[in-house]
A = this chain, B = another copy of it.
Amino acid sequence: MEAANYTLLIDCQDQIGLIYRITNILYNNQLNIIRNSEFVEKETNRFFMRTTFYGELYEESVMKQLKAALPDANIRLLSQTPKKIVIMVTKEHHCLGELLVKNQFGELNAEVQAVIGNYDTLRKFTEQFGITYHHVSHVGKTREEHENEIAALLQSYNPDYVVLAKFMRILSPEFVAKFPDKIINIHHSFLPAFIGANPYKQAYERGVKIVGATAHFVNNDLDEGPIIGQSVMPVDHSQTAQEMAQMGRDVEKLVLAHALKLVFDECVLVSGNKTVILK
């Protein structure tokens, strides 16, 4: 066994002595902590901890000791191997392009397994990068049929995460429930926020001075799950709705890429409808 870096993610109800109990186990196993971040959420009294350590890990044994010490905790112990992801798209290329370029040069800490599109529009672009493209059309199918087809395809890849890179169809709670805490979405957002069709047109008509984007987990109960990252860019009256949308696309692609990096580096814990981001 060779020494390597590992990340430990733990969340549970807070009580006195938790860090002591956890670090005691790591110490007894000759594992050296490089970085530790801990946070107790006041309202829920919930304990969140991310620990990066270095050493020779007997994973089964250490997990057994951790579970014995913290019987009610969620515990994830991970070597920093690249995650496997499938990207879902409709017709817009900007987020897909950002991810495919970074994937090709090993900058994602992830490996893109495939791209699924409900149109065939982005096939050529995807295949340029040597990535498989699956066209799963929704035409002539019920939502359930279409989603089942996608779900089966996703399950054949068994990805760590499913990235909605401007996938423009609403997913049913049944679909989302099959991939809990695994689906990440990017959507535009504004000050003030606009809902419904053609948000950039709405934003333009409202004369906003900022366009923005939000990357978030997709969960079952809410139209918008825990936020991972947000950013904005300035715009002005002289820009058309199309130019605002172009600015928005640049924000969207960077917010998505940065959010994914946090997720793939195991920095993001979910707490109810919020994220705790520990580095």
User: Which residues from B are CB-within-8-Å of A231?
Assistant: 210
CA distance A240 to B190 in the complex (A): 23
CA distance A190 to B24 in the complex (A): 42
Task: Give chain B nearest CB distance to A102 CB in angstroms.
Answer: 9
A88 at the interface (CB under 8 A from B): no
Interface residues of A (CB under 8 A from B): 14-20, 23-24, 26-27, 30-42, 49, 93-94, 97, 101, 104-105, 107, 125, 128-129, 189-193, 205-210, 212, 214, 224, 226-232, 234, 236-238, 240, 246, 250, 254, 257-258, 271, 273-277, 279
User: Which residues from B are CB-within-8-Å of A210?
Assistant: 212, 230-232
- Considering the complex, give the chain B residue whose CB is closest to the CB of A37: B37
CA distance A27 to B212 in the complex (A): 41
Known: A20-B27, A205-B274, A209-B228. 11 other contacts (CB 8 A): A14-B32, A15-B32, A16-B31, A20-B24, A107-B246, A128-B129, A193-B193, A207-B275, A208-B227, A250-B257, A254-B254
User: Which residues from B are CB-within-8-Å of A18?
Assistant: 33
CA distance A191 to B191 in the complex (A): 6
Known: A38-B36, A39-B35. A192 touches B207 (CB 8 A): no
Q: Is B93 a contact partner of A105 (Cβ separation < 8 A)?
A: yes
Q: Is A191 a contact partner of B36 (Cβ separation < 8 A)?
A: no
Q: Is A191 a contact partner of B212 (Cβ separation < 8 A)?
A: yes
Task: Give chain B nearest CB distance to A93 CB in angstroms.
Answer: 6
Q: Is A209 a contact partner of B227 (Cβ separation < 8 A)?
A: yes
Q: Is B275 a contact partner of A237 (Cβ separation < 8 A)?
A: yes
Q: List 26 A-B contacts (CB under 8 A).
A: A15-B32, A16-B32, A19-B33, A20-B24, A20-B26, A20-B27, A23-B23, A36-B49, A37-B37, A93-B105, A101-B101, A104-B125, A191-B193, A191-B212, A191-B230, A192-B224, A205-B273, A206-B273, A207-B274, A208-B227, A209-B228, A209-B229, A210-B231, A210-B232, A236-B277, A237-B276
